[in-house]
Structure 1
Amino acid sequence: LESVQRRFTLRILGADCTLTYNSRCNKLGSDPLWKRRLELNLIFFFKLLNKLSLTSNHVIQYAETPHYDIRNSLSLVKQTCSKSSLYMNYFTCRFSRLWNNLPQSICTIKSLPLFVRFIDAYCSPENVLNVVAPVSVSHSTSDIIGTLNV
């Protein structure tokens, strides 16, 4: 789908356009497909975490943290160990890593409309690399963005 959107934006602006895909989308007033997927998947993860979605049998749990470790401890999600690259690409594995790297002010929100507004602002082009490039994970940003095809 993203290749279709890339060709479509190029065709609208003309073949002589030298703008990047993200710049073409901004000029046309739309979001790149990967950004929409990221936002919608984080919103779906929020719904699963707060039991607002009835589509999953898998329960996502908050991680238990020691009482002395108070930094970001209210919103950490339990991450499962992935011993294979196939399991690492499962939705809950990928998005629990991304969730744990969101600011605590976003993770502690309990209202869905407010969360949607904050995620939309946080996934703006200036902040998007903060979301998809967790510091504690050894995977490259392109690997993480490449696995967002859920």
Structure 2
Amino acid sequence: MDERAAVMRLKMEKNFPMNKSRVWEILSDTDRINRAIGLDPVKRGAVAKGTAISRTLKSSALGLLPMEWQEYPFEWTDQEWYEVLRDYSRGPMSTFRSGIHLIDSSYEGQVQTTVQLYSNVSPASPVLLAPIKAIAKKSMKKTPRSLHSV
């Protein structure tokens, strides 16, 4: 299978009756978001010395399938957007790029923030495309719910 054909591109957009700084405060706490969507805790591996631009992390999918990945530094602009890239050496995915964009908006004169979520996921095997897509969609739907739980 062509690697580009195997990339799943998922997007979601939702409005929240909060200002951007409050939405950013909640969604930029990625450990909290991971817990909210049901991911297992992440174990941080050894940090490379010198000019390393990534770190090794470990977790498991659904508490069963071990995963290990290189995570590159988050790219971000405060209260605007962030994005992360992970290259997996173990687990159901080969790459994962995900992020958010926050946009000021309003509804009937009330301040709102439009949250755009996106994920580009490449499964480790074409056989995993359908199950990973289902899990990724479910996880993506849980992310905005964390804004209601504060």
Question: Above 0.5 in TM-score?
Answer: no
TM-score normalised to the size of structure 2? 0.33
Q: Which structure is higher in RCO with an 8 Å CA cutoff and minimum separation 6?
A: 2
Larger Rg: 1
Q: Comparing both structures, which one devotes a greater share of its residues to helix?
A: 1
Give TM-score scaled by structure 1 length.
Answer: 0.33
> Which is strand-richer, 1 or 2?
2
